[in-house]
Amino acid sequence: MKQNLNIITLGVKDYERSYQFYTEILGWKPTKSSGDEITFFKAGGIVLALYPREELADDAQISPEGSGFSGFTLAHNMRSEAEVDALIEELKEKGVKIVKEPQKVFWGGYSSYFADPDDFLWEVAYNPYSKFDEDGNLIFE
């Protein structure tokens, strides 16, 4: 896997409160790609996202309570579904714990989740709406 981090998604208990904190208290500006229930902030070479905790856990197909879910995921975006499949297969061969098999998802993309040794979740995703620069960084307008 290429050493590259694209998005940090925080699973927040109160989305509106968190949105107000980041925008009003910290003064961060959401990207135009943000929606009603997800907010993206450019954060240097990566993007920080806010998303409801319950929905983020549901997307990874795990419980939002107790062990196994830390309240956020790390995302590694790929350029195709085939790249997602290939990376997950490579990780399986290395004994990595796959939490969610690659599959089409409700937002129009394709994703899978794996866990690191501390059970922090990584999403490997293909988003047909994403654009990348020449260094492989996501472009948010």
| pLDDT one-digit tens code per residue, 107-140 | 999 999 999 987 889 999 999 999 988 888 888 7
104 found inside a domain: yes
In the chain, the largest separation of any two C-alpha atoms, in whole Å, equals 46
> For residues 2 and 105, which has the higher predicted lDDT (pLDDT)?
105
Q: What percent of the chain has pLDDT over 70?
A: 98
pLDDT band for 68, please (50, 70, 90 cuts).
low
Q: Alpha helices, DSSP H only, in 6-141?
A: 15-20, 53-59, 81-93
pLDDT for 141 equals 73
Q: Which domain CATH number covers 14? A: 3.10.180.10
Q: Is residue 114 part of a domain?
A: yes
DSSP for 84-107 reads HHHHHHHHHHTT-EEEEEEEE-TT
| 15 is a domain residue | yes
Q: Which residue has the higher pLDDT, 69 or 60?
A: 60
- Domain assignment of residue 1, yes or no: no
Task: Please determine, for residue 4, whether its predicted confidence score (pLDDT) is greater than 90.
Answer: no
124 is written with which tokens? 């490997």
Q: How many domains does the chain have?
A: 1
What domain range includes position 122?
7-127
> Is the residue at 42 inside a domain?
yes
pLDDT at res. 126: 96
- Residue 98 forms part of a structural domain: yes
* Residue 88 placed within a domain: yes
Domain assignment present for residue 22? The answer is: yes
The per-residue b/e assignment along 23-46, b for 16 or more CB within 10 angstroms, e otherwise, is eeeeebebeebbeeebbbbeeeeb
